[in-house]
Structure 1
Amino acid sequence: MNKRHNRSRATGLLLGYALDRALGDPRRFHPVAGFGRCAAGLERWIYRDSRVAGVVHTSVLVGGCVGLGAAATETARRWGAVGEVTLVAASTWAALGGTSLARTGTRMARSLDDGDVAAARALLPSLCGRDPSVLDEAGLARASVESVAENTSDATVGVLFWGATAGVPGILGYRAVNTLDAMIGYRSPRYRRFGWFAARLDDVVNLVPARLTGALTVLLSPAVGGRAPDAIRAWRHDASRHPSPNAGVAEATAAGALGVRLGGRTEYAHGVEIRATLGTGREPTASDIGRAARLSTLVQGAATVASAVLAVAVGQTHVVRRALG
């Protein structure tokens, strides 16, 4: 990668984030939704209750996205810097979901503030896959804070990190893995074996983004009335108790930063999970959802700047290696 390429990548990431902030998710023909339909179609054709079938399913879909990203990058480079920047920006915007996440969290907070539990229950599926019918106001508040925290990493920081380090193939490949994990990465009877590879691959690709999210949450916790030492303490003591090695970091640091207690009985369509407690504060309320949304927005902005710097640094590393070689 030469200097032009890494500058184009960094600029594209910044522009893609700006588009997400200004426009949110694409309203029609969302690429992630289209990918989900393709994944579901392939699943109907290839599904077997085995890990091998799951590996084939995930490998075909993720490999196809990475290959598409690589081919698109080569084509865009024929158009010079403008082509590269445009492709990276468009891919970043399509893959990011942070602005819609924060807006949905804010709407959830308003619904609960107004005492409209029915509206809050109707909105919850936009944040997570839990069963809203069994949740009261406290349960809806906890589910919302946890989902905003986890998806800050999945919907924004992970996209930006892989965009910075691997360009458009990284963006598309990461989003494919993340989407497949959300679709089939469950421990239900149907997906315990078939979704195993997607879930493990998601764990791997999110190792760094989740910890970057945790670090930024610690640094920015004072901006929402929290204390960095509390966020660090929750990370150290509680993150490893979460069933996910990555969601635990994002949720624990958010719990510490917001001064709330997360975890406990968690009901999904596929069954009930009893989660360990994260944080030592009070139970979250509607106002804490709004604080979580503001914290998420701040973390997203900081991660965008960090990703642009990382993109340039990765390019400089390639230049140095080429010179030494």
Structure 2
Amino acid sequence: MAQDMAIEAWVDRFVNDRDNQYVSEQCVERAADMLRRIGKEACARGFDIPSPNDEELLRAHHDNVAWAHIVIALEGAIYFLRVQELCTPNAPRKDPSAMGRGDASVPRWMADRVREFIGTGSLQVSIRSEGDLACRKSAKDTMTSSLEVKIPSVLDEFVTALKRRRRDREERAEWEAAKELARQRFDSDCLMAVVDRQAEQYLAMQKRREYLTALECSMASYEGEDRDDVSRRIAILRERVDAEDPGLHPERIDLTVPEPTKAQLEPYMGGWSCEGPYHVSGCTLRDRAGRAGSVWSAEADVYGDDQYGTTSGYTGAYGIGSGRYGGPAF
């Protein structure tokens, strides 16, 4: 009932405001019926018909409401529709001095025109919108079909656009959730790579300590003239090992994870692109699979050979992106 009253309010506003009818007198009745048809067809599809006197509507969209003959809205999108009569092409231009100076019987919309208005009897619906920028801008009578026949398909297009916006919102929400999870997985793999590198170095230091202990034991039977110098060198090495051992320096733990590039993050995205809410092909993902391990430069301990104190070829339990979340399912 409220929607029917709102529709009639728009129709009354149109009929009583000659200065903004944009149709010749003989088309007023058909145009009013067109507005009713638009309103009823819109209601049947779930659209809301706000009152032309709605204060919030006027405050937010004053110029468009003044321009329109009826307004319909649905889920954040609002459409302003105006029925107008088509003018004969190439109507003669008015004398500039006569513009806006018609007598009282001439409506303002006609008096303000640059060209004379010569009506054709054919109607057109012009459309403005907010929230659906891709919607069509007009529909009109043609030689093969009337505007009345086209109104349902115009409104169906609005509904289709609504479904598309819903789907886009859902996909964006999924993408944002996937990107957040991907960043968590990336960060976890990076941190595990740090732990693995430091654990590798820690084990290497234990081997070095065993070696230095063996040297110190052998010094009990060493009688060379450089005994004191050798003992001093062993002590220097032990001091250096203690200084480099990550197990003795918890203050050196750094949880800072570098900002990933798109190529580094994309293997964690589960098929989503890092650039927006759309999917990318599996081959593209494999080509870009520079996992978290590549973020950290390979570091070699100053004392190590290829077996101890180096991470250049290390891919431990968590290395090279194979952390506790596993590889992405492509």
TM-score class, shorter-chain normalisation, is: under 0.3
TM-score by length of 1: 0.27
Q: Which is richer in helix?
A: 1
Q: Which has the higher contact order (CA 8 A, sep 6+)?
A: 1
Higher normalized strand content (fraction of residues): 2
Who wins on radius of gyration, i.e. which is larger? 2
TM-score by length of 2: 0.27
